[in-house]
C-alpha cells in the first residue's frame, strides 16, 4: 500500500496550522508526508526543518494581478504536476486558499484521489472549485449545496499540542484566559476596539491577544503594560 500523502497548504495560519497538525498526526501513524504549495519557502508559520516540501509558483487573482496571474498559475500547475507524477502520492489533501490551487489542480489532472479540508461555515473559493470532484470534504458544518459533494463530518479540530503551546507562551496563571483574535494575521479594527475597553474589566483575565503585524501592535503592548494587565501579545 502507498503511504505517501501530499498536503496542499500555505499562506495564513488559518489554512496552514490545521495542515501542520494533521501532518504530524499522519506522520506518527507511519505516513510519508510532503507539502506542496505556493510560498512555503517564505512562510513564517511553516516549520521547514520538520517536513519535506516543494514550492510552486502562483498568485491570487485581483485587478492588479489579472494580466500575469494566469501565467503564474499555469507555471505553478506544471511544477506541481511534475512533482506529483514523480512522488506518486496515494492522495492529496487541499486546505484551501490560492496557495493550494496549483497542487490541487494538478492532482485533479492526474486523477489522484483528492480530499479537502474546510474549517469555515462559508466555503472558500478554491475549495468550492474542487468540491464537486473531491472524494470528500472534512468539515464541521453542513455547507450550502452539500448535495453536490460528500461531507466527511469532523468532530475535532487539528490544534497545536497543549504542552508545546504552554512552553511557547510560558503562560502561568490562575485567572480565566481571555482570547482576543482577528485571525492569524490580526485585525486592526479589533486591536483598536480593545484600547477602548475599561482596563479594570480586563484585569480579571489573563489576555492572550493575537494581534498580527501592524502599526497598532506596540500601542497594545504599551496599553497592557501601563494598566498592569497580564497579557501575552
| Percent of the chain predicted with pLDDT > 90 | 42
For residues 148 and 129, what is the distance between their CA atoms, to the nearest angstrom? Answer: 12
C-alpha cell at 89: 502520492
C-alpha cell at 17: 496550522
Count CB atoms within 10 A of the CB of residue 137.
Answer: 23
Asked if residues 41 and 52 have their Cβ atoms less than 8 Å apart, the reply is: no
pTM metric for this prediction: 0.75
Asked if residues 116 and 96 have their Cβ atoms less than 8 Å apart, the reply is: yes
* Interval 84-101 mean pLDDT: 96
Residue that is written with C-alpha cell 473559493 in the block? 125
CA–CA distances in Å: residue 1 to residues 6, 77, 91, 191 = 15, 27, 12, 50
Average pLDDT, the chain: 85
Spans of all domains in the chain: 4-153, 164-232
Just give the CATH number of 4-153: 3.40.50.2000
Amino acid at each position: 500500500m502507498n503511504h505517501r500523502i501530499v498536503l496542499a497548504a500555505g499562506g495564513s495560519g488559518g489554512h496552514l496550522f490545521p495542515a501542520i497538525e494533521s501532518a504530524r498526526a499522519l506522520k506518527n501513524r507511519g505516513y510519508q508526508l510532503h507539502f506542496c504549495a505556493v510560498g512555503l519557502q517564505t512562510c513564517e508559520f511553516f516549520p521547514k526543518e520538520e517536513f519535506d516540501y516543494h514550492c510552486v509558483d502562483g498568485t491570487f487573482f485581483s485587478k492588479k494581478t489579472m494580466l500575469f496571474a494566469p501565467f503564474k498559475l499555469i507555471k505553478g500547475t506544471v511544477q506541481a504536476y511534475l512533482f506529483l507524477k514523480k512522488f506518486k502520492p496515494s492522495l492529496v489533501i487541499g486546505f484551501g486558499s490560492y496557495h493550494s490551487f496549483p497542487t490541487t489542480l494538478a492532482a485533479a489532472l492526474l486523477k489522484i484521489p483528492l480530499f479537502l479540508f474546510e474549517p469555515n461555515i462559508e466555503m472558500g473559493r478554491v475549495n468550492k472549485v474542487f468540491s464537486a470532484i473531491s472524494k470528500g470534504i472534512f468539515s464541521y458544518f453542513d455547507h450550502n449545496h452539500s448535495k453536490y459533494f460528500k461531507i466527511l463530518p469532523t468532530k475535532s479540530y487539528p490544534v497545536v499540542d497543549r504542552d508545546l503551546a504552554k512552553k511557547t507562551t510560558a503562560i502561568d496563571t490562575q485567572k480565566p484566559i481571555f482570547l482576543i483574535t482577528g485571525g492569524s494575521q490580526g485585525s486592526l479594527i479589533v486591536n483598536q476596539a480593545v484600547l477602548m475597553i475599561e482596563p479594570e474589566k480586563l484585569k480579571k483575565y489573563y489576555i492572550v491577544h493575537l494581534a498580527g503585524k501592524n502599526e497598532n501592535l506596540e500601542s497594545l503592548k504599551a496599553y497592557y503594560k501601563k494598566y498592569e494587565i497580564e497579557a501575552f501579545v
